[in-house]
């Protein structure tokens, strides 16, 4: 329950920090860090408009998408404190409950009958499919290393005591950061500010959403970023006192948001035709972690 509250708090300023960083690096003052939250609240006050070509799937998909992310957050622990839901193999539940929300987002875009939204849905499905192996190889490697298969067991058993273990932690952080950017369709895989439907991914999928539904989708993106930031923070919290754990948690969230802003400021967007190759290559980094774990355990023959 503690992790849920902390992730909700982090989600209030995360996207605002990303936008603030991009503004500073481009020499602009930019909006306040709570402006994205104000935009979401403004959308919550508006009613949704539905096209006659859409059905019930389009109407319920934003709620299911939000609910899937909330269910995934329930699994995330905070240091030694278990998540609201915790069991052996819960990282598999985490991945596939997120996939359920992604599935409904995809078929919601298809339900509109728009060829542009169908194109974005196709790209979203492809990119998520290639990011999934990297996550499972990563978590499977740490499950092998620690002997636990739950998030809470893995994170509490992780001990960074050698240079090699720090290298594994750095690689794991890199993998989770890139997965978060892929899952939220951010630069350099997608440009959330583009207005050209031919090159959009997530943004073109939600062109027909409006009002409360659009606000729910935008806020869910903030939650997903904060959720991945919480996973990264758990790698470094371990068994430290709770007050230091809080500092580590919000420190990681802050650095994570600043890093996303810097990447989006100084990195050009990848060519759309090469995105799948770059994302699938992320599995190679996870395999390096896997081989590193085998070396630590002495299981290389």
Residues 131, 185: contact at Cβ < 8 Å?
no
pLDDT value, residue 168:
81
Residues 178, 259: contact at Cβ < 8 Å?
no
Q: What phi-psi label fits residue 244: left (phi over 0), alpha (psi between -120 and 50 degrees) or beta?
A: alpha
Instruction: Give the three-class secondary structure for 22.
Output: helix
Residues 172, 213: contact at Cβ < 8 Å?
no
Residues of the chain with pLDDT under 50: none
pLDDT value, residue 198:
64
- In sequence order, the 6+-apart residues with CB closer than 8 A to the CB of 231 are 76, 151, 176
Instruction: Give the three-class secondary structure for 251.
Output: helix
pLDDT value, residue 301:
59
pLDDT value, residue 94:
92
- Per the listing, tokens 């240079």 go with 163
Which of 192, 145, 201, 152 minimizes the C-alpha distance to 171? 145
What is the Cα 149 distance to its own chain's centre?
21
pLDDT value, residue 125:
84
Residues 278, 270: contact at Cβ < 8 Å?
yes
Alpha helices in the chain (DSSP H): 2-11, 14-25, 35-44, 56-75, 90-111, 115-146, 151-157, 163-183, 202-205, 211-237, 242-266, 275-297
pLDDT value, residue 34:
86
Which of 159, 4, 132 minimizes the C-alpha distance to 73? 4
């Amino acid at each position: 329950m503690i992790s849920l509250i902390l992730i909700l708090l982090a989600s209030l300023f995360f996207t605002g920090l990303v936008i603030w960083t991009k503004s500073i690096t481009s020499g602009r003052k930019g909006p306040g860090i709570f402006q994205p939250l104000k935009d979401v609240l403004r959308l919550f006050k508006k009613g949704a408009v539905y096209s006659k070509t859409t059905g019930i799937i389009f109407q319920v998909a934003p709620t299911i998408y939000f609910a899937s992310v909330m269910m995934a957050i329930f699994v995330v622990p905070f240091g030694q404190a278990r998540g609201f839901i915790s069991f052996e193999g819960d990282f598999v539940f985490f991945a596939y409950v997120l996939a359920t929300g992604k599935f409904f987002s995809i078929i919601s875009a298809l339900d509109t009958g728009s060829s542009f939204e169908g194109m974005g849905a196709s790209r979203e499905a492809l990119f998520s499919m290639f990011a999934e192996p990297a996550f499972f190889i990563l978590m499977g490697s740490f499950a092998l290393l620690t002997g636990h298969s739950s998030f809470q067991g893995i994170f509490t058993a992780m001990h960074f005591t050698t240079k090699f273990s720090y290298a594994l932690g750095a690689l794991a952080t890199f993998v989770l950061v890139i997965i978060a950017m892929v899952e939220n369709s951010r630069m350099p895989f997608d440009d959330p500010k583009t207005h050209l439907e031919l090159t959009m991914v997530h943004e073109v999928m939600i062109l027909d959403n409006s009002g409360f539904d659009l606000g729910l989708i935008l806020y869910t993106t903030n939650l997903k970023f904060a959720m991945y930031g919480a996973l990264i923070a758990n790698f470094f919290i371990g068994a430290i006192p709770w007050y230091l754990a809080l500092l580590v948690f919000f420190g990681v969230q802050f650095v994570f948001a600043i890093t996303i802003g810097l990447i989006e400021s100084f990195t050009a967007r990848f060519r759309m035709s090469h995105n799948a190759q770059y994302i699938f290559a992320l599995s190679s980094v996870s395999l390096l972690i896997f081989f590193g774990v085998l070396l630590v355990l002495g299981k290389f023959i």
